[in-house]
Amino acid sequence: MEELFTKLYSNGALLVMWGAILFHLILPIPRAVHPATLWHKFAEILANKVNLNHSYRQSLISGGLAWSLMVLPAWLFMWALKPLVWQPQLFELALLLLAIDWRSNESLAKQLIDALTKEDKKRARRALEPYVNRTTSSLSPLGLGKAGAETLILGYGRNVVAVLFWFGVGGGIGALLYRLIMELARAWSPSRSEYLPFGLVAIRMLALMDWLPLKIYSLMIALGNNAFTVIGALFSQAKQWPLPGPGWLLTAVGHKLELSLGGPAIYDDKKTVRPKLGGRIAPAAFHLAQLQHLLAWRICGWILLQSGLMIAVYQGI
């Protein structure tokens, strides 16, 4: 036991991960002043300057150059700063704290559950609006339940699971770089006509980084009841979704809880046809509570699994 404790103590990366999670859960950075929010707003300002709706090819090239202009300097800055810090573990801790975002999803879930329970559509729409690109003003209780469920599923998957995965792969720089790439994909989402095809590079880069962590998390969600049914759906239904990682995650949760996800959505007052995933139950407040419970416990399992892998890799256990 003493030898195991010594190895845990000497594993700085593992202590950084656990420390960042605890700090974030106790004292999270407010969303309004979070650097990722400021990054998102700057991305929108940049797009307004360079996304001038020229030809398809020119717009695609502009999107790629704008993405490089945002991401490469950020990566170079963090890479150049790392050797200059007096305590590398604190530097890693700070970057992971800026990347991870568990509490915002938890807060959104509570607001949606409370609003939908009281049938307060206006409050539910206000709570959901900052987290989605779709139009929320016309969402019915059914639409709010679906949109809320999808937002929570992808929010927990990306803001927690994928961030921790990329921390394990690339340290604090990898985690924060993933978070910045994710925010660019949200800011320039091609689901809105004004960013098509400008935002295709951003969404494809995010899809590439989502592919492995979200698929592993989907398999973890499949464990337990209905495991074979869920896994079968992952290899059949999930491929209908345009992005493989989110497609797997939405399908896994949808079939696990038999929730109806996907379907038509409105972006910029234009109806977008999306494939239907999952079961037949329309998500309501009760189902959002179930969903949050499932995702949170699977995240705890992910943290324990990643901790064990980090011990094995860094200490040779």
Domain ranges in the chain are 12-315
Indicate if the alpha-carbon torsion angle 182, 103, 154, 17 is positive or negative.
Answer: positive
Whether residue 211 has pLDDT greater than 70:
yes
Please answer whether residues 175 and 99 qualify as being in contact, where contact means their C-beta atoms are separated by less than 8 angstroms. Answer: yes
The whole-number pLDDT of residue 115 equals 94
Please answer whether residues 180 and 70 qualify as being in contact, where contact means their C-beta atoms are separated by less than 8 angstroms. Answer: yes
- What percent of the chain stands above pLDDT 90? 74
Residues 6+ apart with CB under 8 A from 152: 105, 108, 109, 112, 288, 291, 292, 295
* pLDDT, the chain, mean: 90
Q: What is the largest CA-CA distance in the chain?
A: 65
Residue (of 155, 179, 195) closest to 39 by Cα position: 179
Whether residue 308 has pLDDT greater than 80:
yes
Residues 6+ apart with CB under 8 A from 251: 218, 230, 233, 234, 237, 238, 241, 277, 278
Neighbour count for residue 79 (Cβ, 10 Å): 11
Whether residue 9 has pLDDT greater than 50:
no
Range among 48-57, 162-171, 191-200 with highest mean pLDDT value: 162-171
Please answer whether residues 35 and 98 qualify as being in contact, where contact means their C-beta atoms are separated by less than 8 angstroms. Answer: yes
Residue 269 burial (C-beta neighbours within 10 Å; 0-12, 13-18, 19+): exposed
Whether residue 6 has pLDDT greater than 70:
no
Q: What is the pLDDT of residues 80-95, one digit of tens each?
A: 998 888 888 899 999 9
DSSP string computed for 160-189: IIIHHHHHHHHHHHHHHHHHHHHHHHHHT-
SS3 label, residue 72: helix
The whole-number pLDDT of residue 317 equals 47
Indicate if the alpha-carbon torsion angle 242, 248, 252, 253 is positive or negative.
Answer: negative
What are 276's strand-pairing partners? Answer: 262
State the residue for tokens 């705890």: 300
The whole-number pLDDT of residue 11 equals 57
Whether residue 12 has pLDDT greater than 90:
no
For 232, the enclosing helix (H) or strand (E) is helix 227-234
Stretch 145-174: mean pLDDT: 96
Q: Helices 35-50 and 163-187, interaxial angle, to 10°?
A: 40
- What percent of the chain stands above pLDDT 70? 95
The whole-number pLDDT of residue 3 equals 54
Structure tokens at 283: 């998500």
The whole-number pLDDT of residue 52 equals 84
Please answer whether residues 60 and 198 qualify as being in contact, where contact means their C-beta atoms are separated by less than 8 angstroms. Answer: yes
The whole-number pLDDT of residue 8 equals 47
Stretch 151-165: mean pLDDT: 97
Higher local confidence (pLDDT), 73 or 271? 73
Q: What is the pLDDT of residues 222-274, one digit of tens each?
A: 998 889 999 999 999 999 999 999 999 999 999 999 999 998 888 877 888 89
First to last CA, the chain: 13
Number of helices and strands (H, E) in the chain?
Answer: 13, 4
